[in-house]
Structure formats: structure tokens, C-alpha cells
Amino acid sequence: MMALRPEELTWIEPTRLTVQNTLGGAWADHWDRAVQTIRISGHTGWRPTGGLGGGGGGEAAFISLRDTSFQVWNDTRTAIARGGGDPNVVRLEFVDALDMRAALVAPRVFTLKRSKTSPLLQRYNIELLVLQDLALPTGVADPINAAINAATAFVGGAMALDGVAGAIDAGLNNLGGLFP
């Protein structure tokens, strides 16, 4: 476990959505949620501390951060896969204690940023892809609920069509009275 307090945290929750423009207006194809992205950025400081990095200062803390969140995750998964094992046993969990959120993540990008105005600070940007939102329920209930909702919508649509068919039948019967 590594305690890290980033300066910025961005949690992006997109949907899989395609909007089609037509002459009659627009309509949307919606396929539920898409892969969420977490972006964190900050710096590890420059003074020696007893925290992250074991007291070696900002550079040691930065190396520890990179190794823990990126290098070790990739190397361990690769080694397990080459050995014929399941690389999914390697887990990286992101916990945001302030917002009470947690997610199983995969590191996508780790970026080092240095600047002339603050040469002693090693700034980082980390982009994580959310594999599973640990706050959301998963398992058998989700597909079952989705199937029940789809069946309910189908039955509701069929009942609406039955009402339309009844109205057409009644209309035709009324027309029959006009023509003896």
C-alpha cells in the first residue's frame, strides 16, 4: 500500500453513446457506461521525509511511486503470463478516501514533468483505466436485472400495440356501419 496525496484528481465517467443526426431530429444509441479513467497529478516534494520513498527525498519518492504504480505492475503481470499463469492475480487498487470511492485499475500512462522554474520538483501525471468500480455491485444480479427490465419493456410495448390494434379494429367496425 502506498499513501499518495495528489494535487489534482480527475475521475472521468463516460458513456458509450453515438448520436445520429437526421432530417427529423437526432437520436442516440446508448450502450451503457464506457471505461472510466482516473487522472492524478502532483509532485513528490524535494525534502527528505520519512514517508513515501523511505526518507530519500523527492527523487527517491518519485522513483518509488513510478516503480510501485507502473513498473512493478507491468513486470509482474508479464512474468506471470510468460510462466503460464493468470496475470489477473496482480491487482492495483485505487482508493480515494476523501470521496469514498475505490476501483480496480490498470496503469495506462505514467508521465514525468520537469520545469526550469522548479528544477527540484519531479511532477507526475498518472492515468489509470478503471477495470472495476469496487463501489458498484457486480455479479449475477446485474445481468438478471437487465434481462428482467428488457422483458418488462417488451411486455409494455406489446400491450401498447394491443391497444393500437384494438383501436384500429374498432375504427374498421365503425367504417363497416357506413357502407351497408
Does the predicted model carry a pTM greater than 0.85?
no
Torsions phi, psi for 54 (to 5 deg): 75, 25
Query: What sections of 71-140 are H helices per DSSP?
Result: 72-82
- Sequence length of the chain is 180
pLDDT in tens, 16-55: 988 899 888 898 888 888 899 999 998 877 765 554 545 5
The DSSP symbol for 136 reads S
User: What distance in Å separates the CA atoms of residue 134 and residue 157, rounded to the nearest whole number?
Assistant: 35
Largest distance between two CA atoms of the chain: 102
Residues 6+ apart with CB under 8 A from 154: none
Q: How many CB atoms lie within 10 A of CB 68?
A: 15
Q: What is the pLDDT of residue 163?
A: 65
Strands 101-113, 123-133: pairing kind: antiparallel
State the average pLDDT over residues 94-106: 87
